[in-house]
Each structure stands twice: as structure tokens, then as C-alpha cells.
Amino acid sequence: MKKSFKQRHALLLISLFFFACEGTKTEDCATTEDGRGHVISVLPMGTISAKFLNDFLADNNIDIGVIPTFDVKVYSIVYETVDWDGEPRQASGAIYIPDEDYSNKKYPIYSGQHGTESKRTNVASIAPLRGFDALFVASVGYIGSSPDLLGLGISSDVVHPYVHAFVAEAVVDKIRATKNWLCSNGINDNEQLFIAGYSEGGYVAMATHKLIEEKYADEFTITASAPMAGPHDMIYVSNRITSRETYSQPGYISFTYMSYNTIEKLNRPATDLFQNPYAERIPKLMDGSKTIGEANDKLTTNMKSLFTENFIAEFLGDGEQELKNVFAKNSLVDWSPNAPIMLVHGENDITVGYNNSVIAHDKLKANGADITLITIPNGTHGSSVFPAYAAAMGWFSTLKK
């Protein structure tokens, strides 16, 4: 009898537990002057065989666009980053390395950003399959980097910058930390950098691409990015959700409130936006102990019951200018990319509206971007995940050295 996805995931975690051992050395080859990217600790989590990965894909009928060739070594890493106030913070993530002789070889780096996760422990540094895309690309000759993202994993002392552009800063520091670890262990990267992500990860991928080219171009050169099914236009997203009668993911809304209220220092009680009993529940639902699914169960999908009548009227009218301005500031559809971009989105995605990618494509193309939009026919948000990754991995393989 074939094992389920969850069964195989559990077996993988058990096997990694028994192979875990002491941390490894690191050097500050890519650390900034203020310490960003400095590696605090690295814990080897074992080796996952190419056979296991191939069996996993076959047993679960998954096509991710790669055929695993190498066994993969997995490492859990803690590194230095900063929060939105410039205060030092620790963040975590996973690194995936092809298990082969590294002599005279150079590898591209792939940074894969996970989808929405509000429970701090559901991350790659703890459960390696959470960074499944970085894991699988390592099996075909990339260095895979999967950041937990600030506010998740080890960084339990800050809110997660959910669909907020600042989230990209910790991704950049994770790439620095990965370079530090590679340098310390005699593994060379070839200066290619691929960035991808789906759902929230699509937003994070786009934000990271934008941040690197606008702020860190002297340090990194992006080869290509694939921001998939992301909420790139936060003005469109917020108008769409507040205009709907129902929305299936109210946890996304509460997560966004917690993020923006803290980072943008809006200092607004939940009751300004939400009705009770939901307003009083939201802070505890978004404290890192609950999944989005658990949060959804304690909220409502009826938008007129979730939001206050006054908030909806003001937001859809001429009011709420401060909130509208911060959504505009964190939208990712008005800049000029240099590296090529492939957007991928299911045409029937009502969770993260397909028009997010249409808007991003049209506006960025008008700004001179080398950008393509791949539409998955009849694809929903859930059904499009693996077809999207297969498209991205296939494209990356044509650019990989």
C-alpha cells in the first residue's frame, strides 16, 4: 500500500532526526558591516536520497518539473537580520546541498519562498519538506535556500511581515548567510541567483527581486524570478476582498491586519476594522501558535459579518486614506525590473485573484520588463501549485549554467 503525503513526511522527519548531529563552522564571507547575514548556527539534518525523492513524486503523482539525480544534504541555519526598525533579529531557514564531490564545481543559488504559514513551527528549518522546492532543485544541481521568513521559525519575538514588502530584507540576509556557509565549506556558487515562490511566496519572490535590483544590485545579480500566484497589487487585493460577500480565507485578512498594524505603526485596535467576537480573537489567532486553517475556523467567511459596516463603507468610499496609502506603498506592480520574470497563475484562482498577475504583467511590461505570464487553464489556487512549479523549474533549467 502506498504511503500518504503526511505518512511519508513523518518518516522523513524521523529519519532526519536520527541523522542530525553537531553544527558546522561558518565564515563571514558575505556578512555586511552591520552583521546582516552572519551565521549564528548550522545544524546538519541528514541526507535525503534521490530514490526517496523520486518515490515521493511517483507515490503522490506529483510533477514538479525535475527528475531527482543527487542525494541532498539538509541543514538548518540561524542567521542575523534586522526588523523594520533596524533592530538586530535572528531568523532561520534551511539549506539544501547536492551530495556529491564539490571539487571544481560551481552551483547556482535558488531561493524558494513558502506560501502562507502563520504557525511558527511549520517551516523548513524544522520540517525540511516545507522547503520542498528548494529540496528538489538541489537534487538537480542547485544550492537550495528556503528562508522561514522573519516572524516565523526561531524569530518568535516579532510579527511576520505578511504581504508587506519588508519581508524581502530577511530573504536577502538568508542568501548572504547561505553564501557564508558555502564559502566556509569549500562549495562555490556560480553567481547565478534564481528566485521563486507561490501564493505569499509569490509576493515575497517579487518583493525580493525588486529589493535586490533597487537596493543591493552591487551585491547580487538576479538571473531570473518566478513569482507565482502572488497578491502583487495590494490595492486590487484589498478592494476585491472588501467588496465580496464571502471570502474563504479570513485568516489571510487577519494576518495582514497584524502585519500592517505593527510594521506601519497604524496603532489601530482590531475593533476599528472587525466586529466582535472576531476582533477580540484575531491577536491570539495570529500569535504564531495557530495555522491559517485553525484561524479560519474561528473567524467567518462572510465579509459583512467580519468587517464593521463603517470600515467597509469608508474603505470602499473616500475614507481610510492612510490604510490605502500603505497598501499602495507595498504593492509590487510599479517598478522597472532588469532580470526576466515569469508569472504563473491559475485562471480560476479566486483565493489570490488571477488579475493580480494580469495587472503585474501589464504594468511591469509597460515599464520595460522582460516578463511572461503563464496561465494555467481552469487552475484554482490549490490545483495550480505543482503545475506552476513545473513551469518555473522548466524555465530555470534553460537558464542554468
The pLDDT tens digits for 258-291 are: 999 999 999 999 999 999 999 999 999 999 999 9
Taking only the tens place, the pLDDT of each residue in 348-364 is 999 999 999 999 999 99
> CB–CB of 318/181 below 8 Å?
no
Amino acid at 140: V
pLDDT at position 368 is 98
Average pLDDT over residues 80-105: 96
What is the rounded distance in angstroms from the CA atom of residue 152 to the CA atom of residue 125? 10
Judged on CB neighbours under 10 Å (0-12, 13-18, 19+), 291 is middle
CATH for 266: 1.10.260.160
pLDDT at position 15 is 43
Query: Of 277, 294, 329, which residue sits at a domain end?
Result: 329
Mark whether 89 and 69 lie in a shared domain. Answer: yes
Percent of the chain with pLDDT over 70: 93
Please report where in the chains the cell 546582516 appears, as a residue: 36
Strands of the sheet containing 39-48, edge to edge, are 39-48, 72-82, 88-98, 143-147, 106-113, 188-198, 224-228, 341-346, 371-376
Per-residue pLDDT for 9 more than 70? no
**Domains in the chain: how many in total?**
2
Rounded to 10°, the helix 278-285/250-263 angle is: 70
Half-sphere exposure at residue 81, Cβ-oriented, CA atoms within 13 angstroms: 31
Please report where in the chains the cell 535556500 appears, as a residue: 145
Per-residue pLDDT for 204 more than 70? yes
Task: Band the pLDDT of 235: cuts 50, 70, 90.
Answer: very high
Q: 16-25, 103-112, 324-333 — which is least confidently predicted?
A: 16-25
Per-residue pLDDT for 230 more than 70? yes
Taking only the tens place, the pLDDT of each residue in 385-398 is 999 999 999 999 99
pLDDT at position 26 is 59
Q: When comparing pLDDT for 30 and 94, which is higher? A: 94
Per-residue pLDDT for 12 more than 60? no
Task: Band the pLDDT of 20: cuts 50, 70, 90.
Answer: very low
Query: Of 279, 311, 329, which residue sits at a domain end?
Result: 329
pLDDT at position 214 is 98
**Residue 351's domain spans which residues?**
5-232+333-399
Mark whether 244 and 176 lie in a shared domain. Answer: no
Task: Band the pLDDT of 32: cuts 50, 70, 90.
Answer: confident
Per-residue pLDDT for 162 more than 90? yes
Per-residue pLDDT for 6 more than 90? no
Mark whether 119 and 34 lie in a shared domain. Answer: yes
Query: Residue 364's closest CA among 260, 227, 266, 237?
Result: 227
Mark whether 295 and 344 lie in a shared domain. Answer: no
Task: Band the pLDDT of 29: cuts 50, 70, 90.
Answer: confident
pLDDT at position 34 is 81
Mark whether 36 and 156 lie in a shared domain. Answer: yes
Summary mean pLDDT of the chain: 93
Mark whether 60 and 115 lie in a shared domain. Answer: yes
Taking only the tens place, the pLDDT of each residue in 34-58 is 889 999 999 999 999 999 999 999 9
CATH for 52: 3.40.50.1820
Beta strands in 258-361 (DSSP E): 341-346
Mark whether 30 and 165 lie in a shared domain. Answer: yes
Average pLDDT over residues 69-92: 97
Q: When comparing pLDDT for 193 and 8, which is higher? A: 193
Average pLDDT over residues 305-329: 97
Mark whether 142 and 245 lie in a shared domain. Answer: no
Query: Of 329, 358, 391, which residue sits at a domain end?
Result: 329
Per-residue pLDDT for 17 more than 70? no
Q: Which three cell numbers stand for residue 237?
A: 487585493
> What is the DSSP-derived secondary structure letter of residue 369?
-
pLDDT at position 142 is 98
What is the rounded distance in angstroms from the CA atom of residue 166 to the CA atom of residue 389? 24
pLDDT at position 362 is 98
Mark whether 322 and 338 lie in a shared domain. Answer: no
Average pLDDT over residues 366-388: 98
Per-residue pLDDT for 13 more than 50? no
Mark whether 127 and 177 lie in a shared domain. Answer: yes
What is the rounded distance in angstroms from the CA atom of residue 379 to the CA atom of residue 363? 23
Task: Band the pLDDT of 375: cuts 50, 70, 90.
Answer: very high
Per-residue pLDDT for 115 more than 80? yes
> CB–CB of 391/342 below 8 Å?
yes
Mark whether 269 and 378 lie in a shared domain. Answer: no
Mark whether 207 and 166 lie in a shared domain. Answer: yes
Per-residue pLDDT for 113 more than 70? yes
pLDDT at position 11 is 43
Average pLDDT over residues 290-294: 96
Judged on CB neighbours under 10 Å (0-12, 13-18, 19+), 112 is buried
